[in-house]
Amino acid sequence: MARPSTPPAERLRELNKALEKAKKLPRKTTLTARPMCELLGVSWPTLLKWCDEIPGFATSNAFTRGAQGIEWTFRPVATITAIVKHYTAVSARSAAKAKRVRNIVSGG
């Protein structure tokens, strides 16, 4: 059975912790897939899904896709910043939706 997805607010907390760690790395550091996953605290399938599905992430220059025999490379701060931006928007949409539902239920 699949593990339930992490709520956006919790994901943001985890990402912000990872961002603080990434900011302590030397300025031009790049990471390959495994170290980037470890920094983020996620699996490779999760990071790959983000790379493929987060709008604008693939064109953000935060990472370079790998290919046969060529490793993926990630700019840690840019990568995490792009993911934080995405989850901030997801969280805001979720909060707005919850507020609309509360207003409907309360008659406001």
* Alpha carbon distance 2, 84 (integer Å): 24
Residue 69 confidence (pLDDT) above 60: yes
Q: List CB contacts of 13: < 8 A, sequence separation 6 or more.
A: none
Q: 90: pLDDT confidence band, cut at 50, 70 and 90? A: confident
Q: Is this model's pTM higher than 0.85 or not?
A: no
* Average pLDDT value over all residues in the chain: 89
- The upper half-sphere exposure of residue 101, i.e. CA atoms within 13 Å in the direction of its Cβ, equals 6
Q: Which two tokens stand for residue 37?
A: 């996953």
Euclidean distance between the first and the last CA atom of the chain, given in angstroms as a whole number = 40
Mean pLDDT of 34-61: 96
Distance in angstroms (rounded) separating the CA atoms of residues 7 and 22: 22
